[in-house]
Amino acid sequence: MQYIDFCESGEADQLYLASGNVPNIAKNQILIKVHAAGVNRPDVLQRMGLYAPPAEASKILGLEASGEVAAMGEGVKGWSIGDRVCALCNGGAYAEYVSVPTGQCLPIPDNLSFIEAAGLPETFFTVWSNLFQCAGLKAGESLLVHGGSSGIGVTAIQFGKAFGADVYATTRTEEKCLACKDLGADVTINVCEKDFVDEVMIATGKKGVDVILDMVGGEYIQKNIDCAALDARIISIAFLKGPKTEVNFMQMMLKRLTLTGSTLRPKSTEIKALIAAELRQFIWPLLISGQIRPYIDRVYNLSDAADAHRHMESNQHFGKIILAVRK
């Protein structure tokens, strides 16, 4: 099979198309004939040498894929050869074939293409596990999503609205603010022009927000605390501006805040399977009805993975960047 490899950690031009063996499939695994793969920020960080994959994971980049079931390992039930499938991968998605535990696989709704389905798993697993399993977001609460135009942000806005939350989103251009409003965000904030703490406090009548999903870090860590409501939950999932800053923890105590963080990739197969089961129960019906849908920013050929990475690093995208593996 063909796949994307890189010689050493560095810039996007390190990526190149290579040839190798089709991966083996173990017990309770599916071999997917990949049609498309999603591009995610951890892929960029892994390429740069800043995000090492777990020891047992494939060293090939790529955390999500869509395609057809090509083969099944011992113990696999509920799938047939040729079924359309999308999956959260333990690496290996930038390739013509990838093997994935069955618990991390989900059927592709009939109304979605392989390209669209390739942009579902990584963001859907991440957002569901953080907003609902961890933060316990409920109808009537308020949610602040940083990076509203990212793949995570687009998903979080839609999930929040679908389950009855008031959604606030930050981004860096007026065009992206308008796009986030089209997704359902109640309030959008251009952080290049306005301070999001001031805007949130005005919009909430000085109450603050109940749940904050942050991938920025840096100075946002303190600012999140500043605009959090009593008993709010703040979840960090990335630190694009760095993991260090000066924080006044007195506010955390006085507001009774919960500050937590999570990474999806190192979680066990069993935990990922539980997330998948809840997605199938609560989110898949909304995908089928069209209430929630993937937003694809741009599609590149597998051989143009370097260009896809450069586009992600430019931060100009809205929604998902996808690699087309098969036409």
Give 236-277 pLDDT, tens digit per residue. 999 999 999 999 999 999 999 999 999 999 999 999 999 999
Beta strands in the chain (DSSP E): 2-6, 15-19, 29-39, 64-72, 84-88, 97-101, 105-107, 142-145, 166-171, 187-190, 209-214, 228-236, 258-261, 296-301, 320-324
Q: Which two tokens stand for residue 193?
A: 């022009």
From the CB of residue 171, how many other CB atoms can be counted at a distance below 10 Å? 26
pLDDT of residue 327: 79
Instruction: Give the residue range(s) of CATH 3.90.180.10 domains in the chain.
Output: 2-120+267-324
- Please give the CATH topology (third level) of the domain spanning 124-261: Rossmann fold (3.40.50)
Instruction: Give the residue range(s) of CATH 3.40.50.720 domains in the chain.
Output: 124-261
pLDDT of residue 42: 95
Q: Which two tokens stand for residue 114?
A: 């392989």
pTM over 0.75: yes
What band does 30 get if pLDDT is binned at 50, 70 and 90?
Answer: very high
Report the C-alpha gap between 194 and 171 in whole angstroms. Answer: 11
Q: Which two tokens stand for residue 234?
A: 């703040």
- Arithmetic mean of pLDDT over the chain: 97
What band does 106 get if pLDDT is binned at 50, 70 and 90?
Answer: very high
| pLDDT score of 55 more than 90 | no
| pLDDT score of 63 more than 90 | yes
- Please give the CATH topology (third level) of the domain spanning 2-120+267-324: Quinone Oxidoreductase; Chain A, domain 1 (3.90.180)
